[in-house]
Structure 1
């Protein structure tokens, strides 16, 4: 069992839905104070209400320095400091090469990668004061390990997060701040509602465990990285994908 995180404060970006919402709720259940950050105030407030009195919603565009600075200020004013940053904000619009515009590319890189840098930069003074700061990045198997048509910009942003993480981990280690990343595979979120059972079945067929992951699966990995037990782990990744990246082809699964 993890030692208590009661009373520590976490900022979770992109927390109004999907994996971010799952992380925020899991952290709240573990006794942390949680600032639920989203571009939409009403959606952030709704998630905070689900968590309870130890959570607050905040609207910010974390692709801007001003948005990141404002969210840190809000966390300090509400909870007295920040111990943990979960840099989770991300988008994944599809656009194949030849159709993708520079604006499409920049939008994904700004939201996914630039926001990671800006969030870390803004919260760094508070994590230093904490004495045991934690940064947890939500990356992906897509980009660092695998590829998928239409997601070259997304894959580049997610691979870029890991390049950022490794050097950040070295630089911040003397401050007793760890920097790690969770790499989700196919995770069932509300974004998959309505896509049909056949499509989900085809996704499950490529996973050795024959099911999609849950947001709780990712949240549990993030909670471990935020814990005292992970104090000597930095610059590392946990892949949470049910074994999805292991088979060299579908034939390997059929051979089972």
Structure 2
């Protein structure tokens, strides 16, 4: 722990639980003041107070529906006003109901694209002036191996949104580079979160872990560590990239390695 983010403000969407909570905790340990935006903001508030009774003096939770652009614009304004600055935005919030392709409705597709992809556009647009006022900034996003690298039944809508996220990362990196704003992402593989637990029982988790070359499921902390790196001075020359954090699961040779 280096306290490298002392005096900096980090906004994390979808930070109430799972990967998002891990990201919030990692930046907080490094000294950042963290703003948590989530539909379950009350969960985040209770967790922050339970973790450290004084934490609400530094960190704040905001009720936000990331599918609504007006709420995103208001969020950025509130965070900058409350904290006095904005240095890092991590778009981690996601919507991905397991739905067979033939049963995807306009509502399911619309909300998936709005939260996973559309919100990234609006966050970037709203945060850019705040970043410019600080002389630069870091825009980060939790992408996924699903879509850019692999596919799973029942997640066609999610895969399409995350493939779009990776395209955005590359294009936005070029456009925002003159303002000293870097744009990068992390592609998690199978991470142990409440959302994953909803997909099956402990036996299924064990089978999935057995198929990962490193022999375990990922933890939120694994993703958080990559995010902290991408926001740190060590990654000042990195932009338009994604880091795959999946224990080697998407390597073409992974099945052979596991069997061996």
1:93-172 equivalence runs, <5 A: 93-172=97-176
Question: Cα–Cα, structure 1 residues 249 and 230, in superposed 2: closer, same or farther, change >3 Å?
Answer: closer
Match of 1:189 in 2: 193
**Which of 238, 241, 250 pairs up with 1:236?**
241
Equivalents in 1 of 2:185, 2:236: separation in Å? 14
Match of 1:43 in 2: 43
CA contact (8 A) 2:148 2:162 kept: yes
CA contact (8 A) 2:145 2:188 kept: yes
Match of 1:20 in 2: 20
Counterpart of 1:188 in 2: which secondary structure?
A: coil
Q: TM-score, normalised by structure 2?
A: 0.93
Match of 1:253 in 2: 258
Q: TM-score, normalised by structure 1?
A: 0.94
Aligned-residue CA RMSD in angstroms? Answer: 1.7
Question: Cα–Cα, structure 1 residues 2 and 181, in superposed 2: closer, same or farther, change >3 Å?
Answer: farther
CA-to-partner distance for each residue in 1:119-142, whole Å, 9 max, x for gaps? 111111101111130011100000
Match of 1:214 in 2: 219
1:74 aligns with 2:78: yes
1:178 aligns with 2:179: no
CA contact (8 A) 1:36 1:47 kept: no
Counterpart of 1:106 in 2: which secondary structure?
A: helix
Counterpart of 1:179 in 2: which secondary structure?
A: strand
CA contact (8 A) 1:44 1:59 kept: no
CA contact (8 A) 1:84 1:133 kept: yes
Counterpart of 1:232 in 2: which secondary structure?
A: coil
Pairwise CA distance, 1:193? 4.4
Report the number of matched residues: 255
Match of 1:223 in 2: 228
Equivalents in 1 of 2:88, 2:218: separation in Å? 24
Structure 2: gaps (5+ residues): none
